[in-house]
Amino acid sequence: MSKVKVGPFSVSLDGFGAGPRQDLQNPIGVRGLELHGWVFETETFQRMISQNDEMREMETFKKMTGQRSGARGIDNDFMAASFENVGACIMGRNLFGPVRGPWKDDSWKGWWGANPPFHAPVFVLTHHARASLEMEGGTTFHFITDGLDSALSKAKAAAGGKEIRIGGVSVIRQYLISGQIDEMHLAVPPVLLGEGEALFHGINLPQLGYKPVKVIAGENATHVIIKKS
């Protein structure tokens, strides 16, 4: 049976999973990319972006590249493990892109270029219908308009017993509240955002049955594993 997981998901010391005012220059909100500095330093990320010409040339990612091979170590081990045994992903429309309202056309295809790093079906929660979008490398975006349960049911059918990964602050919060997330891997870098999208505001995790089971200090982030008992 597929496990439903979050992670690695970066969250600031003051509890924000994204910055405010998302736009084309700020895909994770203002200062949101600072949450992922630990990712950009890893060998896994540098190898991934070096193999994607379109992604490497996007303004969003230019400052993350360079002539680095990337670092190995604890952070890299967690990053590499995040790509293992993934059968499907679920994300919110905000994570897919900054476009709001009805889809004007099919020109926006995500932040990740022609070959996104998911390599699995991705179910995007939205209020506005759109035809599925097949990309290179095994990623197909399916746009789901009939809610969380429908997206999860479709993801489980597509995953074939592999894990389902949940992404995006709003979507994670909704699946947490409904008790449908089995495990979370939170990466906590030494960053204070001060504002943005709060991951756990108003959510009583112990009451929902969640508890931390492992804490590991990486080179640029602390990794916390939380499971539902």
Helix, strand, or coil here: 200? coil
The pLDDT value recorded for residue 61 is 57
What is the rounded distance in angstroms from the CA atom of residue 42 to the CA atom of residue 80? 9
The pLDDT value recorded for residue 11 is 98
CA distances from 211 to 10, 180, 183, 208 (A): 18, 15, 10, 9
Mean pLDDT of 208-216: 97
Mean pLDDT of 14-29: 94
> Which is more confidently placed, 206 or 53?
206
User: How big is the chain, counted in residues?
Assistant: 229
The pLDDT value recorded for residue 70 is 82
Q: What is the mean pLDDT of the chain?
A: 92
Confidence of residue 58 (pLDDT cuts 50, 70, 90): low
- Domain ranges within the chain, ordered by starting residue: 4-103+110-228
Confidence of residue 190 (pLDDT cuts 50, 70, 90): very high
Instruction: Mark out the alpha helices in 36-186 (DSSP H runs).
Output: 37-40, 43-50, 53-57, 59-62, 74-81, 93-96, 148-159, 169-177
The pLDDT value recorded for residue 187 is 98
Query: Would the pLDDT of 60 be above 80?
Result: no
Mean pLDDT of 91-99: 93
Q: Determine contact, residues 29/21, Cβ cutoff 8 Å.
A: yes
pLDDT over 90 percentage in the chain: 80
Cβ-based neighbours of 204, under 8 Å, separated by 6 or more:
none
Q: Which of 50-54, 99-103, 125-129 has the highest mean pLDDT?
A: 125-129
What CATH class has 4-103+110-228?
Answer: alpha beta
